[in-house]
Structure 1
Amino acid sequence: MLGSETVYMLAGDHRWQWEQFCDERRIDRARIADVKGLIVDAFLKARERSSDVRQSGSLLLDPQYSSAHMARARQAGAVVGAPTEKAGAFPLEWTSATPFAAPPPGSFVKVLVKDRSDYAPALRVAQFEKLKELQHWCRASAAPLVIEVLVPRDREPEQTFEETERPAMLSQTIRDAYQRGIEPEYWKIEGTTSAAGAAAVDRAIAERPVCRQIILGKAADASLIAQWFATAAKTSSASGFAIGRSVFWNTCSRFLEGKTSESDAIDEMTATYLRLVDLWRAAIKS
């Protein structure tokens, strides 16, 4: 199961992004499955090299393009979870018309939801109701739930939004979810360099001590991620990260374009992922 103390999640469930990438370059979408295989190979290689990854590492993969690779990773002993949201959809939609007819396809469940406190009340209520239904399904299967919340910027100045307005809106989303009985094991959230912003979000999460936070990557480079980690590490609810594109996007893009080999791509992603593990450990110790 997903570890409660520390989470080093390699998030590889991206779908519409790869579809768009392939369509723009006239690359067969069937090759997206090859990318997913490389991500699994890199994770398993990191798992061989690092006791931290063996203990706290996990994979997030989509059954749409990764079904065989998910099975392979599980057979190797990895913790593997899957998304439930329809890729790119807003408001929240499920991947199928009957999403809860069978048990979860992975060891944990992730859902991505976009929310702002100034969205139409009916829209927000409908999304929260879907999350409540999802949580019931997860608990019936003893599958940890990871809720990823994205707070889109509207017309706010970027710096003000990043430091104060987004943390305030994210905190409100979390509290509104709690009021409806939605208490995921993990909130997957955007990082910030603002100590005050991180503290505000931490206070909201900590209103339910069983809930924790993991930092997502937004395709950022290592230097910015290190700053996010340093800020998050000072909060009481911080448990690690769930990062994908920062590890694999550039590497796998080159692979699909024939600019790097399979073995080089795996080695590069392994090193990048392990670097993130080191960055988190350094942030926690500082």
Structure 2
Amino acid sequence: MSRHLADLPRRRLMLAFDHRGLFNQLVRESGFTELQPHGAVVHCKRLLLQAALRVAEAPGPELQAPPHHFGVFIDEQYGAMHAWIARDHGLTLAMPVEQSDSAAFHLEFGSRFGEHLAHFMPDYAKVLVHYDSSSRLTEDELVALRTVSEWCQRSATTEFLFELLLSAPEPPAGHPPATAAAAEQQRLGHTVAAIEWLYRQGIEPTVWKVEGGFDRAGFAALADTARSGGRDHVSLIVLGGGRSLRDAAESIRAAAEVEGFIGFAVGRTIWSDPLRSRLSGLQDDEETVQQIADRYTRLVRAYLEGEATRVGQVALS
């Protein structure tokens, strides 16, 4: 039976700029002096929000989708005002609860993280976790993650989004590095194992934000794992990981062909070069916003192309 695109489950086509240390580094390296560093970061994030709204509110005939299918990842430190504006315009909003630029997972506001989430009422509370398959996570990290997971389960407004970044394992002593194909299979296997292990620890996200670069079969394996054990309500989105725009688009298109993948959350790939040009004085605000909007649109289009392929496959089955 055929299904119209409008009847598909929710999409999450998201521009991520909840980074903090990375923006400070960007401002510092550019030599930008029009504003103080804090103000410069706030200004950058204002441009990013403008770009997201430009795509969401005037997406063009080939990108027709309601505003809540588009969204942003925004932090409280530099983007509190932007978060309110995004909500007022109907964008999906995700906000981080982890301490910035920490290898270990710590809650930014400690036990008061829930008060901050309740103030903004984002659609997603996001955690970023660096996972090493050899050492996994400490008990303190697991306790903090379970706390967020349980808080979101009780919340009527905010779901739990888990961004999983894996540390690449070192090859055994005396063994040559793996080929690219073998390394991809190893990374896929480690990702599957990490999700399974986290489930056993009582961590229950609604959405997994996972690394890209896999083929369709690889993304299908991730979706099967994330939605195992009766978790049909769980979805996945793809992160950018600093890939080129072309590579990110290919990865997003492949993921979109798989049931369970509802979108992407990409940051640096979209905005790093345009913001560097703006901070270096090579272009103005309007040029920067339009470049970011164009790059964001390219990834939205890639997802919709992959989604259309999946819908066509369903219609033929």
**Shared fold, TM over 0.5:** yes
1-side partners of 2:183 and 2:248: how far apart?
14
Q: Is the Cα contact below 8 Å between 2:13 and 2:70 reproduced in 1?
A: yes
Q: Which residue matches 1:149?
A: 164
Q: Which residue matches 2:24?
A: 19
Tell me how far 1:162 sits from its aligned partner. 4.3
Which letter does structure 2 place at the counterpart of 1:39? L
Q: Secondary structure at the match of 2:22?
A: helix
Q: How many residues align?
A: 282
Q: Is the Cα contact below 8 Å between 2:133 and 2:166 reproduced in 1?
A: no
Q: Is the Cα contact below 8 Å between 1:46 and 1:53 reproduced in 2?
A: no
Q: Residue 267 of structure 1: which of 271, 285, 290 is its match? A: 290
Q: Residue 68 of structure 1: which of 81, 89, 92 is its match? A: 81
Q: Residue 92 of structure 1: which of 96, 105, 116 is its match? A: 105
Deviates more, 1:223-232 or 1:54-63: 223-232
Which letter does structure 1 place at the counterpart of 2:99? K
Q: Secondary structure at the match of 2:107?
A: coil
Q: Secondary structure at the match of 1:224?
A: helix
2-side partners of 1:209 and 1:181: how far apart?
17
2-side partners of 1:238 and 1:103: how far apart?
29
Q: Which residue matches 1:171?
A: 192
Q: CA RMSD in A?
A: 2.1
Tell me how far 1:139 sits from its aligned partner. 2.4
Identity %: 25
Q: Is the Cα contact below 8 Å between 2:14 and 2:72 reproduced in 1?
A: yes
2-side partners of 1:67 and 1:224: how far apart?
32
TM-score, normalised via structure 2 length: 0.82
Which letter does structure 2 place at the counterpart of 1:20? Q
Q: Secondary structure at the match of 2:162?
A: strand
**Would the alpha carbon gap of residues 202 and 65 (structure 1) be closer, same or farther in structure 2, given more than 3 Å must change?**
same
Q: Which residue matches 1:182?
A: 203
Q: Is the Cα contact below 8 Å between 1:113 and 1:148 reproduced in 2?
A: yes
**Would the alpha carbon gap of residues 12 and 283 (structure 1) be closer, same or farther in structure 2, given more than 3 Å must change?**
same
Tell me how far 1:235 sits from its aligned partner. 2.6
Q: Secondary structure at the match of 1:52?
A: coil
Higher gyration radius (CA): 2
Answer yes or no: is 1:282 the counterpart of 2:302.
no
Tell me how far 1:24 sits from its aligned partner. 3.2
Within 5 Å, which residues of 2 pair with 1:250-265?
Answer: 250-265=273-288
1-side partners of 2:251 and 2:217: how far apart?
13
Deviates more, 1:168-177 or 1:200-209: 200-209
Q: Is the Cα contact below 8 Å between 2:162 and 2:207 reproduced in 1?
A: yes
Q: Is the Cα contact below 8 Å between 2:49 and 2:82 reproduced in 1?
A: yes
Consecutive unaligned residues in structure 2, runs of 5 or more: 1-7, 172-177, 310-317
Q: Which residue matches 1:194?
A: 215
Tell me how far 1:22 sits from its aligned partner. 2.3
Answer yes or no: is 1:116 the counterpart of 2:132.
yes
Q: Secondary structure at the match of 1:219?
A: coil
Q: Secondary structure at the match of 1:191?
A: coil
Q: Is the Cα contact below 8 Å between 2:17 and 2:72 reproduced in 1?
A: yes
Q: Which residue matches 1:211?
A: 234
1-side partners of 2:161 and 2:232: how far apart?
15
Q: Residue 57 of structure 2: which of 34, 48, 53 is its match? A: 48
Consecutive unaligned residues in structure 1, runs of 5 or more: none
Which letter does structure 1 place at the counterpart of 2:41? I
1-side partners of 2:209 and 2:132: how far apart?
16
**Would the alpha carbon gap of residues 84 and 256 (structure 1) be closer, same or farther in structure 2, given more than 3 Å must change?**
same
